[in-house]
Amino acid sequence: MTRFLHRWPSIGAALVLLVGMHVAAQAATPPAAVALTAPDTLLLQRIAAYLNDIKTMTANFSQVANNGGISAGKVWIARPGRMRFEYDPPAAITLLADATSVYYWDKQLNQTSKYDLRSTPAWFFLRDPISFGSDVVVTGFSHVGNVAQVTVVETAHPESGSLSLVFTENPLTLRQWTVVDQQAKTTQVTLGDLQFGMALDPRLFQYQYLFSGLNLTGPNTAAPNH
């Protein structure tokens, strides 16, 4: 995993989100939960309901890595369990989650690596249902104006880092996420041109079509009519 981040330092956030940083973990102190007011709790419930209502989504993304490297691309999501990142050149990378596994394809090297989806931070986005229950600890929460930010850490593996989500309100919309890995390196992804509820071709999320040159910008992104 580390060699991939060294090779493509600017793609860290999606890579960490979908692949994770598996390093030798030491016994970690359980994270402290942030104190939440009653309005905070109600907003968290709204956020969980909003995320659970997302069945399909596409967005453009821009990304800033810990070292200042900038990259961009497009993401497709089909909940539960499926996600695909396509990076714009020169980052010749595709990341694909197919509900059980995550595949990392380096197009220049023509090499693919496989990981268990449940062991990656992406599980929070892709699981069904999404909740802020006992399996995560809310370690940070802020609500200023129409912007809300919530930070979560996995209860069972706090050493794996944290995931922060930023939303705007009226209507409630996911705008950004930040991943902080075990080495305290931060990478931020900002979403734009979000679209929801469209039919997506299931081949987008199938490993056997990863290398097929599927037209991701044309009509092939819509599901077949038959």
Across residues 166-195, what is the average pLDDT? 92
Q: Report, as an integer, the average pLDDT of 95-116.
A: 90
Nearest to 152, CA basis, from 135, 173, 169: 135
pLDDT score for 86: 92
pLDDT one-digit tens code per residue, 133-174: 999 999 999 999 999 999 999 888 888 788 999 999 999 999
Q: Which residue has the higher pLDDT, 17 or 84?
A: 84
On average, the pLDDT of the chain sits at: 83
**Which band of pLDDT confidence, cut at 50, 70 and 90, is reported for residue 195?**
very high
Spatial contact of 148 and 44, defined as CB atoms under 8 Å apart: no
Q: What is the mean pLDDT of residues 104-130?
A: 85
Tokens of 181: 């890995």
The DSSP result for the chain, as a single string, is -HHHHHHSGGGHHHHHHHT----PPPP-PPPPPPP--HHHHHHHHHHHHHHHH-SEEEEEEEEE-TTS-EEEEEEEEETTTEEEEEEPTT--EEEEEESSEEEEEETTTTEEEEEEGGGSTTHHHHSSS---STTEEEEEEEEETTEEEEEEEESS-GGG-EEEEEEETTTTEEEEEEEE-TT--EEEEEEEEEEES----GGGG-GGGTTTT--SSSGGGSPP--
Asked whether 174 and 167 are in contact (CB, 8 A), the reply is yes
Which amino acid is located at 21 in the chain?
A: M
Is residue 185 predicted with pLDDT exceeding 90? no
Amino acid 50: pLDDT: 97
Q: What is the pLDDT of residue 29?
A: 72
Residue 116 pLDDT class (50, 70, 90 cuts): confident
Better pLDDT: 220 or 177: 177
| pLDDT at residue 125, rounded to an integer | 84
CA distances in angstroms from 51 to 83, 90, 151, 170, listed in the order given: 14, 32, 15, 15
pLDDT exceeds cutoff 90 at 17: no
